[in-house]
Amino acid sequence: MDPTKKELYTAKRASGLNTSDPDLLQEMQQLKCDPSHNWLLVRIVDNTAVLHACGGGGLKAFSDHLTDDDIYYGALRCLVDEKVKFFHVYFVGQSVSAMKKGKASLSKQAIFNLVEAHGELSFSSGLAEYSDSLVIQAIQSLTKSTNIVI
């Protein structure tokens, strides 16, 4: 293949998503620095990444904010073998249209670039196939550790 054409097809392109919401950026910083904040959730509203919810309370509090009618981009702060590690969570509700799913997958990297993470967890079948224990299992398989605190 001609190198110019290859570049055209493989070049990374900006999603056009606005990720400069001050509340979101402040909470991202809080998540990185403050051990009492261990999760946050982001949604896309009118092509802007906005903070949906954040705080402490661990995985249960994180999961309580997920619904089947939207797409959420999350970040979890975990202690893995007593070291702080971050994980991205991509959650797609069961009631989300195919068009919205496609657009959301294009924006995922723009949001996930805000927090450097050890790995990504994807749940694309809604609440019917999501549980806190599946999140823990996914983190265990990514880290090869059973000593995990969220």
Q: What is the DSSP letter of 60?
A: H
At 90, the amino acid letter reads Y
pTM over 0.85: yes
Here the tokens at position 9 are 């097809």
The residue-averaged pLDDT of 52-63 equals 96
* Domains of the chain (ranges, CATH numbers): 16-149 (3.40.20.10)
**Least-confidence region, from 5-9, 30-34, 126-130:** 5-9
Residue 101 has pLDDT above 60, yes or no: yes
- CB neighbours of 38 closer than 8 A, spacing ≥ 6? 31, 55, 56, 57, 58, 76, 77, 78, 150
pLDDT score for 33: 93
pLDDT score for 105: 86
